[in-house]
Amino acid sequence: MTRSNRTAGAPDAGAAWRRLLTVRSAAGAREAGLRRGADGGWAWPEPVPAGAAALAARYLPLCLAGPHTAFAQLGQSADGFIATRTGDADYVTGEEDRLHLHRMRALADAVLVGAGTATADDPRLTVRACEGAHPVRVVLDPRGRVPRGRGVFTDGAAPTLWVVGADTAAARGRPPGDGVTVLSLGDRAAFAPRPLLSALAARGLGRVLVEGGGDTVSRFVRAGVLDRLYLTIAPVLIGDGVPGLRFPGTGVMRRALRPPARRTLLGEDTLWEFDLRGCGPQPGDAAGDQHADAGQARDEGEHAVDHGHGQALGRA
Ligand SMILES: NC(=O)c1ccc[n+]([C@@H]2O[C@H](COP(=O)([O-])OP(=O)(O)OC[C@H]3O[C@@H](n4cnc5c(N)ncnc54)[C@H](OP(=O)(O)O)[C@@H]3O)[C@@H](O)[C@H]2O)c1
């Protein structure tokens, strides 16, 4: 952010987004022209178009979350499914949610998906609907089952980290494309969300968007490692399909998780943003119970495979 940007006056939505992309701290927010109000919240001091004010309100919590934060997003039907029973997810939510998703990618160092999503959707995981740099793409694939022809491995649009079990062919072979780094983990416990996030942070990827699918996001929620969860609910009923969030939960309704939440309308869809920072691991979760072991496994079981493409990961 330059001095001329700082004094450029009230930003429109496009300028507001460009400024938000630079904000990583309170100092950065001030540099971007934002001011903290009496209520502790940040806003543009001068009257700004509604779009600019809305962008600051929605994304500043993420911008200011610090260098280590994990957040997740799912787009689901009103009856709780993220795809049909054949795995078709084109498209559960609408255009405004796609824009929101791309903005969150732009605010992340890494975007992570499970093997099911990388296989079923062949997603690009790049930033195309808004300005911003592509995050590093992370595919969580303990069995090395994602086909090598998938775009994240072959399109070269952004760096990709393929996280596989050490006992897989993927761990032993050459990476499937330029810009793909294979990270081989020797112990299944090292795939648990907490040690995995530590492994990513050690590679400079501290701000992680977990983009699906339901199984992967659920594991991160159960492990209690997410700061924020974004659920966009579309006014559609699928009836049966791929479930969204699942965790053991409680038999007593008044003990159900009710984290601080706020909602925003995205066209016909409703975006719910949950602040999970006070929630912790969910009771009865085997993965959560394994955290201590998993932390140890991280130190003992993980090793990167150097295929000659071993330069430090960075955003595209
Ligand atoms: N609407 C949306 O927002 C949205 C977003 C993304 C995806 N989708 C849809 O969701 C479907 C895929 O979702 P899904 O829930 O079936 O699968 P998924 O979450 O994409 O992938 C799950 C798999 O990833 C691996 N994995 C993930 N986290 C792991 C961990 N911590 N430890 C070990 N392994 C881990 C496991 O692979 P192994 O089974 O090989 O062990 C696991 O079975 C697709 O149909 C896709 O279209 C929808």
Residue closest via CA to ligand 1's atom 34 equals 142
d(CA 273, CA 282): 19
Least confident of 99-113, 125-139, 150-164, 269-283: 269-283
Instruction: State how far the alpha carbon of 58 is from the alpha carbons of 184, 196, 265, in Å.
Output: 36, 27, 11
Ligand 1 centre to CA of 241 (Å) is 13
Q: Is 315 contained in some domain?
A: no
Q: CB within 6 Å of ligand 1 — which residues? A: 74-75, 82-83, 87, 89, 92, 113-117, 120-121, 140, 142-143, 145, 191-193, 212-216, 219, 242
Band (pLDDT 50/70/90 cuts) for residue 314 is low
Ligand 1 centre to CA of 116 (Å) is 4
pLDDT at 10: 76
Task: Encode pLDDT of 48-68 as tens digits.
Answer: 999 999 999 999 999 999 999
Q: Which of 233, 242, 290 to probe ligand 1 with, by most ligand atoms within 8 A of CB?
A: 242
Band (pLDDT 50/70/90 cuts) for residue 40 is confident
Ligand 1 centre to CA of 72 (Å) is 13
Residues 8 and 126 occupy one common structural domain: no
Q: Are 238 and 77 in contact (CB under 8 A)?
A: yes
Q: Which of 117, 194, 229, 285 to probe ligand 1 with, by most ligand atoms within 8 A of CB?
A: 117
What does DSSP say about strands 269-275 and 261-266: parallel, antiparallel, or unpaired?
Answer: antiparallel
d(CA 187, CA 11): 50
Residues 184 and 211 occupy one common structural domain: yes
Long-range contacts of 54-61 (CB under 8 A, 24+ apart): 54/264, 55/13, 55/16, 55/17, 55/20, 56/16, 56/20, 58/100, 58/264, 58/273, 59/20, 59/103, 59/107, 60/20, 60/23, 60/29, 60/34, 61/228, 61/273, 61/275
Q: Give the end-to-end CA distance of the chain in Å, rounded to a whole number.
A: 20
Cis peptide before 230 (omega within 30 of 0): no
Ligand 1 centre to CA of 147 (Å) is 14
Q: Are 200 and 206 in contact (CB under 8 A)?
A: yes
Q: Are 304 and 196 in contact (CB under 8 A)?
A: no
Which residue would you say has higher pLDDT here, 305 or 281?
Answer: 281
Ligand 1 centre to CA of 66 (Å) is 27
Q: Is 116 contained in some domain?
A: yes
Residue closest via CA to ligand 1's atom 45 equals 87
Which of 270, 269, 273 is CA-nearest to residue 261?
273
The three-class DSSP label of residue 212 is coil
Residues 222 and 123 occupy one common structural domain: yes
Last residue of a domain, one of 63, 85, 101: 63
pLDDT at 88 over 50: yes
Residues 16 and 142 occupy one common structural domain: no
**Structural domain total, the chain:** 2
pLDDT at 313 over 70: no
Band (pLDDT 50/70/90 cuts) for residue 95 is very high
Residues 254 and 282 occupy one common structural domain: yes
Residues 183 and 292 occupy one common structural domain: yes
Residues 205 and 247 occupy one common structural domain: yes
pLDDT at 284: 57
Last residue of a domain, one of 19, 45, 63: 63
Q: What letter represents residue 289's amino acid?
A: D
Ligand 1 centre to CA of 172 (Å) is 23
Q: Which of 74, 215, 247, 302 to probe ligand 1 with, by most ligand atoms within 8 A of CB?
A: 215
Ligand 1 centre to CA of 63 (Å) is 26
Least confident of 71-80, 180-189, 292-301: 292-301
Ligand 1 centre to CA of 21 (Å) is 29
What pTM does this model have? Answer: 0.90
Band (pLDDT 50/70/90 cuts) for residue 285 is very low
Q: Which residues pair with 273 in a beta bridge?
A: 230, 262
Q: Are 175 and 39 in contact (CB under 8 A)?
A: no
Q: What is the mean pLDDT of the chain?
A: 89
Last residue of a domain, one of 63, 94, 115: 63
Cis peptide before 308 (omega within 30 of 0): no
Ligand 1 centre to CA of 175 (Å) is 21
pLDDT at 168 over 70: yes
d(CA 18, CA 182): 33
Q: Which domain holds residue 121?
A: 69-304
pLDDT at 290: 37
Q: Which of 77, 82, 240 to probe ligand 1 with, by most ligand atoms within 8 A of CB?
A: 82
